[in-house]
Amino acid sequence: IPTKKHVTLFIHKDAYQVILDGVKGGPKEKRLAAQFIPKFFSSFPELADAAINAQLDLCEDEDVSIRRQAIKELPRFASGENLPRVADILTQLLQTDDSAEFSQVNTALISIFKIDAKGTLGGLFSQILQGEDVVRERAIKFLSTKLKTMPDDTMTKEVEDYIFIETKKVLEDVTGEEFVLLMRILSGLKNMQTVSGRQQLVELVVEQAFLEQALNPTDADSVDRLLQCTRQALPLFSKNVHSTRFVTYFCEFVLPSLSLLTSPVAELDIQLEVLKLLAEMSPYCGDMDKLEVNLNMLFEKLLEFMPLPPEEENGENAANEEPKLQFSYVECLLFSFHQLGKKLPDFLIDKISAEKLKDFKIRLQYFARGLQVYIRQLRVALQGKTGDALKTEENKIKVVALKITNNINVLIKDLFHNPPSYKSTVTLSWKPVQKTEAAAIGQKRQSVEDIGATATTKKLPTNLPRRNARQIYNPPSGKYSASIGNFSYEQRGGFRGGRGRGFGGRGNRSRGRIY
């Protein structure tokens, strides 16, 4: 026999059905429905599917105010087994182009994430793996920006493990931009801050970098892939997480083809970029199987950028024989050689011929003479300049140039020791000063004596490239005329092109992503 409560619920159920039907009415009925469908949702579990579908219809209404109201109330449906479905719906709604609506979707996703992180992630990753490109892109960006703001009690070990597992699935077929964002997501997880965690991340990057394949230097996409993978791996390296596989690959496949490399970006000095990456990785290289072979390749490449003194004619240098001293390239190569040389300190004594060692020292001596000229001229140009005066674009370039020449000077002095020494420590010119060096400088005002810099400059062109493009310093003409290097202040990261570029092609999804 039905009770009074049953009869009341039956009557109310009919009333709730009327509310659900309101989504087919006019604007007033829809606004009321958007409020009352979620309000009484929990009272009628047998109408759950109909209620969610009705609310979803309102989320797709032509009237933006109705859509916003419906989206705002969606988290009220997120309980139990309904939560992943709501997360899936909200993820799809990220494709909206209305800024206020987009903000509401983000807020709703964050609120249900705090209710059930794993369930919400299920909806997000479902769309990342199977949804439309625009939804996939925005879902990945949501995770890359919002996960780091979640409280610790939400981001449990179980949740982080789930993120790692699902992200690995996504990495099987990604574009370059997606790869950068996904690595940012993983790098921010607490369980990835350990040595074993960072090692796992390096393994993921190694897999993406295709280090088991020889590099095609003329294929811009292949070069782009290697550059971006190396950039993602760099922050992960340490004395416990080694860069050996990357350094080995650069020595075996990249250095021999350095002059053939095709730049993925028009303004990028691809050779210098590669050499900078190698230099940054070299301190973290562990035991290397073919150390002598790879060190010899590095040595031979260094010789290419360290010219012999020009032939003398009638007591003067022939004008057309003045060699160019490419300081930026030499800083990178010399630093890398110095780092790997520590592992085989007798290389310059026992592994190369006496004639070759003599030739090397002649080149070092000639380069050192050119260095002294530039260092003196740079110090004169920067003499007395402090604070804001050192922040002008022209002086910034001179300051970097002085760092480069000072670094090379220190390293050359080490190699001139008998036997060669590998004890000196320098900070690469484009890297921030280490704390120990800063402490040594003390609290005095930064001046040219603290940083050192290059000769007088030719007037910089007025049509400078975009702000993040490489800025080039041209030293003066004369005996040691040279391109002192391409000095970069660019932000690293980013891939050229949009979808269909970057990494991919591993899977067979018909998402239009290829590599």
User: What are the 10-residue block averages of pLDDT along the chain, 515 residues in total?
Assistant: 42 82 89 89 86 90 90 89 92 94 95 95 96 96 95 94 96 92 95 96 95 94 94 96 97 96 88 97 96 96 92 50 85 97 94 92 92 91 83 87 95 92 94 59 43 34 35 36 36 35 41 28
Cα separation, 195 vs 199, whole angstroms: 6
SS3 316: strand
Measured in Å, how far apart are the chain's first and last C-alpha atoms? 68
Using alpha carbons only, give the angle 488, 491, 493 rounded to the nearest 5 degrees.
120
Looking at residue 321, its pLDDT comes to 62
Cα separation, 282 vs 488, whole angstroms: 20
Question: Phi/psi at 313 (nearest 5 deg)?
Answer: -130, 120
Cα separation, 203 vs 212, whole angstroms: 13
SS3 311: coil
β-pairing verdict for 316-317 and 312-313: antiparallel
Using alpha carbons only, give the angle 68, 71, 74 rounded to the nearest 5 degrees.
155
Q: Where are the beta strands (DSSP E) in 64-137?
A: none
- Strand-pair partners of 471: 487
Looking at residue 79, its pLDDT comes to 84
Pull the structure tokens for residue 192.
Answer: 């990835």
Count the neighbouring beta carbons within 10 Å of the beta carbon of residue 364: 19
Q: Which of 327, 322, 508 is nearest to 400 (CA)?
A: 327
What's the sign of the alpha-carbon dihedral 279, 238, 175, 143? Answer: negative
173-208 burial: b if 16+ Cβ within 10 Å, else e: bbbbbbbbbbbbbbebbebbeeeebbebbbebbbeb
Pull the structure tokens for residue 348.
Answer: 């310059």
Alpha carbon 274 to its chain's center: 15
Q: Are 404 and 453 in contact (CB under 8 A)?
A: no
Give 381's contacts (C-beta < 8 A, 6+ positions apart).
398, 453, 454, 455, 456, 457
Cα separation, 40 vs 91, whole angstroms: 24
This prediction has a pTM of: 0.78
